[in-house]
Amino acid sequence: MGLFTRRSQTTQTARLQEGATAAVSTLEVDPALAALTGDYVIDAAHSSIGFTVRHAMVTNVRGSFAEHEGALYLDGADPSRSTASIDVKIASVDTGIADRDGHLRSADFFDAEAFPLMTFRSTEASRVGGDTYRITGELTIKDVTRPLSIDLEFNGSATDVYGSERVGFEGSAEILRSDWGLTWNAALEAGGVMVSDKVKLTFDISAVKQA
């Protein structure tokens, strides 16, 4: 099932017109998907924004940001009109180690006191294929703004026990942290560095439709 458009099961995929030399395929908007059109708020309690980075060349450190908020506009008929906006509180970074989290908040990395938010504002949306969609926009960290594309898989929609309509997405993107001025590192005696430049970002989003 695609989020925005797909062939209706009741649609004839080809109709021969009198005198026509070829069949004509018709792509229609599924009413169930079109009904998803509207404004949504990200439910932070049931969503996660995380990251994975290579440590000491041999293992991965995983972390997340506990505090974030965002809004989506989904267009069930035209995905190009969909938008996303997310604000992440840097001080909420959590890798499970207090000293490491304090270092990440410091001026060596995010400098959370001077730059408390990481933000993403979409500029373009498109369907990649199947249930996969690409959101392209601008990611800002420490007042450095650069383009970022996030591939997201649509997990479906449902009405929860409170009567609210929800949609779910999960996806990922890779960045080079140095592109945003996050350049702190330490050399290892055997060669290489303590922290990789490449960072994988992960998104698991549940959003609630607004009345």
Closest CA to 34 of 98, 81, 90: 81
| Residue 190 pLDDT | 84
pLDDT given for residue 12 in this prediction: 39
Q: What is the pLDDT along the chain (211 residues), one digit of tens a residue?
A: 444 333 333 333 334 344 333 333 334 556 767 889 999 999 999 999 999 999 988 999 999 999 999 999 999 888 899 999 999 999 999 999 999 999 999 999 999 999 999 999 999 999 888 889 999 999 999 999 999 999 999 999 999 999 999 999 999 999 999 999 999 999 998 889 999 999 999 999 999 999 8
Cα-based distances in Å from 162 to 74, 158, 159, 165: 21, 11, 8, 9
74/38 Cα distance (integer angstroms): 6
Q: Which H or E element spans position 33? A: helix 31-34
- Its pTM stands at 0.83
